[in-house]
Amino acid sequence: MSLPLEGLSAIVTGAGRGLGRAEALELARLGAAVVVNDYGQSGRDGSGEASAAPAEQVADEIRAAGGKALAHTGDVADHQQAEELVALAVAEFGRLDILVNNAGILRDRMVFSMTEDEWDSVIRVHLKGHFNTTRFAAAHWRERSKAVGGPVYGRIVNTSSEAFLAGSAGQPNYAAAKGGVVGLTTSTALALARYGVTANAICPRARTRMTEDVFEGIGRPEQGDEGGEGLDPLAPEHVAPLVGYLAAPAAGRVNGQLLVVHGGMVAIVERPRVQAKFDSKQDTFTYDELDALLTPHYADRPAGETFGAVEVLGLRRG
């Protein structure tokens, strides 16, 4: 029996640790050849011994398990290096089939204290990084489609966040970047559907090096606790199977979607809907008319309620 991703090739960005590592290992387990991307070169460990770059360590791990993998240590937020990453996958494996955008950083601070660099760096890595790789992968699929005269195989899995869905007071840069990722995803899904390519976004909740401060104090289960075999509900391994599914042929009809995933739970987020509509009785609204319509409409709303879906933070495996 063949594996669902057998014969396909993938790129996973930010795959040296945490979520990206778990996703790269899962894609390889399902049969894909993987380019493991993570920014950073070889260095030395605490004892002064030479150590391989994180991307190289994960690629070694995949090969040791019998899979195909190679490492790329470039910066996906750099346009040229992102182009080189896609070109590497095509040159090594003959084509690119799957792109998983995961690379990111945090620079948390309240909006009134945030520096320009803290804003720019997060937007650059998350949002521009997603765009850069998507741009060159999309061009590759479009060219392949034109060459064969029909649809080809292509899957994009982008990484958004509940910080965008619910709002996160101390992460205006991160929430904005992750909201932008959703906009990029839905636009890409519509643009590439004709070529046979799907694009979806996930909002994972996981304990990684990047989020250790966010989830500090949330305990890990002991052996035998609910959730099975003592696996941390926030373990990245809860997220990786969904990425594998979205990358597979079985998910061909899943496109332009946003899914929340963590702790043995997947939730599909419904698109925004119009809650109310008001029409002016004149050619255009006046201040007084808007006051008469909108002020009563909001008068009984719960204090603090916004467009943000705070209830998503309460989702748990039931």
Active-site residue, from 9, 145, 168, 174: 174
* Helix (H), strand (E) at residue 44: strand 43-44
Minimal CA–CA distance to 11: which of 97, 105, 135, 129? 97
Query: Alpha-carbon distance 127 to 269, whole Å?
Result: 21
Q: Give me 147's structure tokens.
A: 């060459």
Determine the Cα–Cα distance for residues 161 and 182; give it in Å rounded to an integer: 9
- Active-site residue (options: 160, 161, 168, 195): 161
Do residues 31 and 5 touch, judged by C-beta distance below 8 A?
yes
| Residues whose CB falls within 8 Å of the CB of residue 254, separated by 6 or more in sequence, listed in order | 198, 200, 246
Q: In what helix (H) or strand (E) does residue 220 lie, and over which residues does it extend?
A: none
Alpha carbons 165 and 161: distance in angstroms, whole number: 7
Helices (H) and strands (E) in the chain — how many of each?
A: 9, 10
In whole angstroms, what is the distance from residue 271 CA to residue 153 CA?
Answer: 26
Does residue 187 have an active-site annotation? no
Structure tokens at 232: 């941390």
d(C-alpha 157, C-alpha 101), whole Å: 6
Residue reference for tokens 């909740």: 205
| Cα-based distances in Å from 241 to 237, 271, 284 | 7, 23, 52
Q: Does residue 298 have an active-site annotation?
A: no
- Catalytic residue, chosen from 9, 39, 145, 178, is 178
- Which DSSP letter does residue 107 get? -
By annotation, the residues acting in catalysis are 161, 174, 178
